[in-house]
Amino acid sequence: MYKLRVTRDIAGAHYLPDYEGKCRTMHGHTWTVEVLIAYQSDLGLTGLYLAKTGGLIVDFRLIKETIDLFDHVTLNDLLPVPTAEHLARELYWRLTGHIGNWLDCDVEGYTKDLGTPKVEWVRVWESKECYAEYAPS
Ligand SMILES: [Zn+2]
């Protein structure tokens, strides 16, 4: 089993119009996004998958670029209710889709027998004390 974890800080403004309290008005956070990706294999470059991808489960650059789509933006422009929960869920599905696209472009014919890397979970820390995590059940 291989596991990849990426932690990245982004800055983003948001407001929660239906919230009773300070978060109702526009304000900003430095959000910390954590991503965990797992790939079930005991093989190294002798395995078909890692041989074809040049030894990468998923390119870290791809993960960082996906997270950076939410950096220095007003999150309400991208999500109807931009809570940490919804941001974690959105990033989970975007990363899952991007991994599939990356593999389709760069790797041929490995998935039927060897499986694919899977996003295990995405955590979005709104502050040092609080995070929301999304993983489909
Ligand atoms: Zn907030």
pLDDT average, residue stretch 78-94: 96
Instruction: Give the distance (Å) from ligand 1 centre to CA of residue 61.
Output: 27
Domain-by-domain residue ranges, the chain? Answer: 2-134
Q: Write down how long the chain is.
A: 137
pLDDT band at residue 114 under the 50/70/90 scheme: low
Tell which CATH classification among 3.30.420.10, 3.30.479.10, 3.90.1150.10, 3.40.50.300 matches the domain 2-134. 3.30.479.10
pLDDT band at residue 71 under the 50/70/90 scheme: very high
Query: Cβ distance 101 to 59 under 8 Å?
Result: no
pLDDT average, residue stretch 92-101: 86
What CA–CA distance (Å, rounded) separates 18 from 14? 12
Q: What is residue 95's predicted lDDT score, i.e. its pLDDT?
A: 94
pLDDT average, residue stretch 41-56: 73
Those residues whose beta carbon sits under 5 angstroms from the ion ligand 1 are 23
pLDDT band at residue 45 under the 50/70/90 scheme: low
Instruction: Give the distance (Å) from ligand 1 centre to CA of residue 27.
Output: 6
Please compute, for residue 24, the number of CA atoms within 13 A of its CA located in the half-sphere on the CB side: 6
In this structure, what token pair is assigned to residue 15?
């407001």
pTM of the predicted model, to two decimals?
A: 0.88
Instruction: Give the distance (Å) from ligand 1 centre to CA of residue 51.
Output: 43
In this structure, what token pair is assigned to residue 115?
């499986």
Phi, psi (5° rounding) for residue 10? Answer: -135, 155
